[in-house]
Each structure stands twice: as C-alpha cells, then as structure tokens.
Amino acid sequence: MAETVHTGWVVLWHDERGWGVLDARTVPEQVWAHYSNVDGDGFRSLDPGAEVEFTVERAEQDGYHWRAVRVKEKPPKKRRR
C-alpha cells in the first residue's frame, strides 16, 4: 500500500532543537517533524513558510498526534514575467 504524500508548509522550525511543525489541508492536525526525517545529508533545516511534501504516521510526540516520516522541501515556484 502506497503512502499518501501531503503538500503543505513549514509553520515553525527550531534549528537549535532540530525539529519543527508542518501543516497541510489534507492532515487533520499539525504535524511534528524532526530534522533526521528531512531529505538531505548532514545538518538539515527548514524555513518557516517553505512549501514541503511529506508523509505521516500516527504518533504522540511533544503534544502532537502526527509525526512526519519523510519531508522534502519543494523548490520555489518560478515567477512568470
């Protein structure tokens, strides 16, 4: 069974703690995310307001009921002239 990939945005991110919160219209609540689940090598961070794609699992984490499993930042959209 394929996992659902949600498109949403970064609500907040704590670089010093290595975690943040994501939101998407297709998930009933905000989602907790850890830097180790962000696509990339080494230190990974996300900018608040950035558009992301992610999968989730039901889990209790720091008061959140959903945890991101895989997170990938989407490239910024190119503006038309």
Query: For residue 78, what pLDDT is reported?
Result: 74
Tell me the whole-structure pTM to 2 decimals.
0.89
Q: Are β-strands 6-14 and 19-23 bridged in parallel, bridged antiparallel, or unpaired? A: antiparallel
61 residue type, one letter? Q
Query: For residue 1, what pLDDT is reported?
Result: 42
Q: What would the pLDDT profile of 21-54 be if each residue is shown by its tens digit?
A: 999 999 999 999 999 999 998 889 999 999 999 9
Which range (13-17, 29-33, 72-76) has the least confidence?
A: 72-76
With pLDDT > 90 as the criterion, what percentage of the chain qualifies?
80
